[in-house]
Amino acid sequence: MMVESASETIRTTPSNQNGVSSLSSQSDGGGGREGGSNGDTNGEISPVDLLHLQQQQALQAARQFLLQQASGLNSPGSNEVKQSPVQVPVSMAMMSPQMITPQQMQQILSPPQLQALLQQQQALMLQQEYYKKQQEQLHLQLLTQQQQQQQQQQQQQAGKQAAKEQLGSKQLAFQQQLIQMQQLQQQHILNLQRQGLVPLQPTAAMQSLQQAMCPSDLQQLWKEVSGVPSSEEALKQAEGLDLSTNSSNSTSAFPKAASAHIPLHSLPNGQSHTPKRDRARLFEWISSFTKADSGDDHVPLYSKGSQPPSSHHEEHAGSHPLYGHGECKWPGCEALCEDMGQFIKHLNNEHALDDRSTAQCRVQMQVVQQLEIQLAKESERLQAMMTHLHMRPSEPKPFNQPLNLASSGSLLKRDSDAYPEGLPHPPTSAATPITPLRQGPSVISSSSLHTHSHSHSHAVGPIRRRNSDKYCTPIASELAQNCEFYKNADVRPPFTYASLIRHAILESPDRQLTLNEIYNWFTRKFAYFRRNTATWKNAVRHNLSLHKCFVRVENVKGAVWTVDEVEYQKRRPPKMTGSPTLVKNMISGLGFGSLNASYQAALAESSLSLLNSPPLVTPPSAASLNMLHVGHDDVSSTVEQVNSNGSCSPTLSPQQYSHPVHVKEEPTEVEEDSRPVSLLAGVTHSLPLPSDERDLEEDLPTEELE
């Protein structure tokens, strides 16, 4: 890594897109320096820098995250959901955080993971701030209240006993609130930090809600919930005892939800519309709602204990949906109640029908609604996935048909078209936080998934992921899913230059590109390649020349580069030619023998992120699955097949299209596609891992054709 960073600072080129390459600059000491001219190293902060920064933060979070995992940290008082702490490959978890460099992190974690971490961290920071404020406010209030009390006591000493008592009790309540607040905070922070691993928690739910709603919605919602002091509350406030409202934002009742993003816009109590007016109407509204959609109790979300759902708030003999583990499960409450009786009392006292309660109820309904929507979506997706997969076994060796070509493939293809050739592509949304929202959940990036063992050793910035490149990374799918990410985040893509180049070429309409077009493709697709142009361009050229699989073809207009698939395949020597059984074993092994654990972890993770990820985000789903089976290297299947307008016959063997030079024809490849099978095979019979996984990839195809 030293080498890399050093070299980066030293050379790099200013040149940018338009191929103004910089090779020349290398020789002349003067011209160099472009690093600066690139904008990233210069005084002002470029979008890229911002991204960098954010990535750093995310990485920090990731470290923390891993540390927690390693230490088996699990939320203490937590919920039923006993998530296994291992959601990340063990190897990663074992690493001591200090040993993980940002670059390692980048490579260890898939882009989606990074995104998630980033988001988490941001949310965490915001929350912490929020809590801090809350606490400060509470303390302040406590103090002032004490003063008031003292004054009152002095003034009207014996006088108003009653009033005093009232005050006292309120103060008590207040203190209790403070304590609760702290508890909440701690717990919530824990939750947040652990969210990547433990989904389906109140926090997660709230967060997803937040994310599902636009900030303004949330603001309004929270204003309604908290910002608007009711007439009674106003009174309390006069006494300095207000518990439910806080100066600026949100309420103490729902610190969790309020925190994360809202603070950004810190709702300055601008318009407190919807005053508590007629709570009667509110109540009506609510009850109509509950009738409408609550045949089922959603409450369980908040009841850590497994209380059998009892009909609406009816206090049942021994159980109540809002009561569990000696705590009140009213959102944000968690007051301790020794027994049911006490709880009922508490319920009636603290959560009576008032504005706050109704508002909270509304929020809860929103939460439920969101979750239901989400659930419906996910269910549907699951259904589709399952049906899709179940069909798989029937075609055990259909080479190439990576299951989901349709989805990822098409995506990918179009994507390329979207950009005019040679366009300088301004760092699109680089200025924004990595644009986590869109890409979302692709979660289990193949790389992360497959990178099990030695993956973390790619400490070095360089792509250098042999394994992934070889048999783990389906560039096509990975790119398809994370194309936005790579486009905007200054993260090095986990692919080798060769595979990237190949991808670029195959992705092109004619399956041939000029050098400059290749450059453009790189810069277009990867923010990372918008810097240090001299370096990577040199690498590209180097690769083009070095690898036989890249064939230079003289064209009318000059020279273009094409891919000789056969050669490309040769690069990795096929070890086992195919005994079907062997192959089969390999496949299964490939799919799951080695991946089993990580695969499952990834799966869990994916579902997790699903839950956590904002709906806005493209639903994770299919995509992630896609990667799983398309898990072969590079571009391959997706690109080829889809790209060729469906014209490509899946059954073609590499040999068949071996004309190096005029490529453009029907390409190809069948290669790796056997992977899909692997998924199934792996699932059904998880065999011991094969010795060398990559072989499969390449060999299969050939043999399959027979």
Partner DNA sequence: GGGTCGGTAAACAAAC
Partner DNA sequence: AGTTTGTTTACCGACC
Q: Which residues bind DNA (CB under 7 A)?
A: 3-4, 6-8, 10-11, 15, 19-24, 26-27, 31, 453-455, 457-464, 466-467, 469-470, 495-498, 514-516, 519, 532, 534-536, 538-539, 541-546, 552, 558-559, 561, 571-573
Residue 352 or 556: the one with the smaller Cβ distance to DNA is 556
CB of 534 to DNA, least distance (A): 7
Q: Are strands 323-324 and 559-563 parallel, antiparallel or unpaired?
A: unpaired
Residue 323 or 497: the one with the smaller Cβ distance to DNA is 497
CB of 539 to DNA, least distance (A): 4
Residue 8 or 666: the one with the smaller Cβ distance to DNA is 8
Contact 427, 488 (CB under 8 A): yes
User: If you search the block for the tokens 């965490």, which residue do you land on?
Assistant: 124
Residue 4 or 315: the one with the smaller Cβ distance to DNA is 4
CB of 457 to DNA, least distance (A): 3
The number of CA neighbours under 13 Å toward the Cβ of 327 is 19
CA distances in angstroms from 424 to 52, 142, 419, 501, 522, listed in the order given: 21, 59, 10, 19, 11
Residue 12 or 246: the one with the smaller Cβ distance to DNA is 12
The number of CA neighbours under 13 Å toward the Cβ of 233 is 20
Residue 64 or 457: the one with the smaller Cβ distance to DNA is 457
Residue 485 or 495: the one with the smaller Cβ distance to DNA is 495
CB of 691 to DNA, least distance (A): 9
CB of 319 to DNA, least distance (A): 53
| Backbone phi and psi for residue 336, each to the nearest 5 degrees, phi listed first | -85, 130
> Amino acid identity, residue 534?
A
Q: Please tell me the distance from the alpha carbon of residue 388 to that of residue 400, in angstroms, as a whole number.
A: 16
CB of 421 to DNA, least distance (A): 13
CB of 511 to DNA, least distance (A): 16
**Backbone dihedral region of 229: left (phi > 0), alpha (psi from -120 to 50 degrees) or beta?**
beta
CB of 255 to DNA, least distance (A): 43
Reference 123, options 264, 321, 244; nearest CA is 264
Cα 437 to chain center, whole Å? 8
Residue 209 or 563: the one with the smaller Cβ distance to DNA is 563
Residue 85 or 422: the one with the smaller Cβ distance to DNA is 422
CB of 543 to DNA, least distance (A): 6
Q: Please tell me the distance from the alpha carbon of residue 228 to that of residue 359, in angstroms, as a whole number.
A: 10
Contact 221, 346 (CB under 8 A): no
Fill in the DSSP letter of residue 512.
Answer: -
Q: Is 526 strand, coil or helix? A: coil
Q: Please tell me the distance from the alpha carbon of residue 566 to that of residue 657, in angstroms, as a whole number.
A: 8
| Backbone phi and psi for residue 40, each to the nearest 5 degrees, phi listed first | -80, -30
Reference 191, options 266, 92, 302; nearest CA is 302
Residue 159 or 420: the one with the smaller Cβ distance to DNA is 420
CB of 414 to DNA, least distance (A): 26
Reference 225, options 265, 202, 255; nearest CA is 255
